[in-house]
Amino acid sequence: MKKYGQYILFCLLSFGCAKKAHLAVVNDFSETWVQNLSVKATDVKQYYQQGIVNTLEICLHRQNTNSQQCDGTAFLKTSQFNGFLILDAKKICEFRDGAYNITSKQSKNVDYVVKCGNHPIKKPVIASWKKLCSSQESKLENDRQKFCLGSTGSQVKQLEDELVLKKAKLETCQALAKKNELSDQLIQEQEKTREFKRKNDQLTQKLVQAEAKIKSFEQAKKCEMRSIGDNRITVIIKNYTLRFVKVKSTYRMGMKKGIRITLTEQEANAFHQEAMKSLPKNYQPIYPNIFKAVSKNERLKHVAQFWVQEKTINPQLYKDIIVGGSADSISYDDAMNVIDTLNSWCQGEAQFQLPDEKQFVSLARMAYNPIEEGLQPCETLKEKVALNHIKQLFGYKWQLTNSYCSSLDNVVCDNKQSRIKKGGSSESRYAAECMPEYRAESMPDLREQNTTFRLIFKRLK
């Protein structure tokens, strides 16, 4: 071949290999390893009707082969610039993976080499095979080893030998296309299999972890009860110690007519006005939710004896059951999840539940009765102790009860399914919030800040 000599590109102007092949005569204007191969439009001659070339079907050969049949074809829509047609290496690589040689049907030597790949920076390129293999540049050594094995004559012989071996397998372009299609399907199926295996391994690992955790729970769960005198009980469960204090029945406290757990409208208004006066300067006005504790026709209530937890739920015990949760920010649903778990661990031995509103009010009034003693700030009440050892009763965190907001006769709740919480929190500046009678609402599935709970204990044996 002469430099800038003529090269023959195998161009099919209709679909399929079965139709007659057309040859387009082109001149080589490319340098070694360029992205585009420029061809004079006038050199693509009479083999295309109307003298305008829109699409070329290029015959592609796998590297180190010189087969007369195509290993693959690429349809290229050519662009024309200053009388030149541009064949883009990237477009060729989009049709087939790997590196290819572009050859003419009649030539025994390779005319061009297309180097493809998935490198994020380097782009696909086209090179003149003769220029590449005759170059002495050291930076092209890897490419010469890949595409220029041996001398031109020995390579031709090698390629012809390979052609003989492949001829029996590749009878037609259609058979090769079918083979490539099946190969692509096989690769896709193999990828799906690998993805399935990966997900299956992940699920297996999670199952092993879950089984280990269940085994750990089974080995660790205990429900041992120890009485301390007549008024205190300690429950050891999963290596945690829960302490409970007995609260006597209102009958045994001489309250023959029971207790009133609500306020009158006049009492609620007086407490609201007093609490508003003690708010810090520039503090936003407080909506009088104290009136949710008002009942005009409520009957007096008796409270049976019960055992109440000295402190609110242990934070670490809570996190062992509610993974990722916090005992400082819970919902009613979270609390019931914890209680159901504890009851399953102590099945047949003990049972736990949330306190009812009347239980909390009767307990809280033993430590602080604003109706008789007057309103006190939450900061004052925070460290106040009720009964023997009960702490964290006021101004610590809101504490959930098992009672609905709609349980009173004439109160309008934000939601009838909301649950009552009591006691105020460290954020409370409105003193009425820390009254035993004050009612705050909590939605069952909403985790709220400064909200926790304490347990009521019942011994089954």
Instruction: Examine the pLDDT at 73 and tell me if it is beyond 90.
Output: no
Q: What is the pLDDT of residues 167-199, one digit of tens each?
A: 655 666 666 667 677 777 888 888 888 888 888
pLDDT at position 320 is 93
The β-bridge relationship of strands 240-247 and 232-237 is: antiparallel
Per-residue pLDDT for 148 more than 90? no
The residue with greater pLDDT, 39 or 447, is 447
Query: How large a percentage of the chain has pLDDT more than 70?
Result: 67
Burial class (CB in 10 A: 0-12, 13-18, 19+), 399: buried
Question: Where is average pLDDT lowest: 60-69, 251-260, 276-285, 291-300?
Answer: 60-69
Closest C-alpha to 383, from 363, 398, 368, 365: 368
Q: How confident is the model at residue 6 (pLDDT cuts 50, 70, 90)?
A: very low
Of 229 and 400, more confident? 400
- Higher-confidence position of 49 and 203: 203
What is the rounded end-to-end Cα distance, in angstroms, of the chain? 104
Kindly list the distances between the CA atom of residue 241 and the CA atoms of 226, 230, 236, in Å, as whole numbers in the listed order. Answer: 10, 18, 5
| CA of residue 136 relative to chain centroid, distance | 54
pTM (2 d.p.): 0.53
Residue-range domain boundaries for the chain: 6-171, 173-212, 221-459
pLDDT at 76: 61
Predicted confidence (pLDDT) at residue 45 exceeds the cutoff of 50: no
More confident residue, 5 or 238: 238
Residue of 147 and 196 predicted with greater confidence:
196
Best CA proximity match to 219, nearest among 239, 205, 190:
239
440-442 and 419-422 as β-strands: parallel, antiparallel, unpaired? antiparallel
- Dist CA 376 CA 278 (whole Å): 10
Task: Mean pLDDT check: name the lowest of 43-52, 105-114, 334-343, 355-364.
Answer: 43-52
- Rounded to an integer, what distance in angstroms lies between the CA atom of residue 316 and that of residue 156? 77
- pLDDT (0 to 100) of residue 405: 87
The helices-and-strands tally (H runs, E runs) of the chain is: 11, 22
Is the pLDDT at 393 greater than 80? The verdict is yes
Q: For residue range 287-303, list pLDDT tens digits in order.
A: 888 999 998 887 888 89
For the chain, give the mean pLDDT: 76
Q: What is the dihedral of CA 257, 263, 265, 270, to 10 degrees?
A: 130
Cβ–Cβ < 8 Å for 460, 349: yes
Q: What is the pLDDT of residues 151-172, one digit of tens each?
A: 344 454 455 556 666 665 566 6
Distance CA 386, CA 246 (A): 12
Residue 438: which pLDDT band, with cuts at 50, 70 and 90? very high
**Could you give the percent of the chain with pLDDT greater than 90?**
34
Higher confidence at residue 389 or residue 371? 371
Q: What is the CATH number of domain 221-459?
A: 3.90.1580
Mean pLDDT of 198-212: 83
Q: What is the pLDDT of residue 314?
A: 95
pLDDT at 142: 79
Sorting pLDDT into bands at 50, 70 and 90, what band is 64?
low
Residues 6+ apart with CB under 8 A from 378: 394, 395, 424, 426, 428, 429, 431, 433, 434
- Half-sphere exposure for 86 (CA within 13 Å, toward CB): 12
- pLDDT over threshold 60, residue 382: yes
Query: Given this model, what pLDDT does residue 65 score?
Result: 60
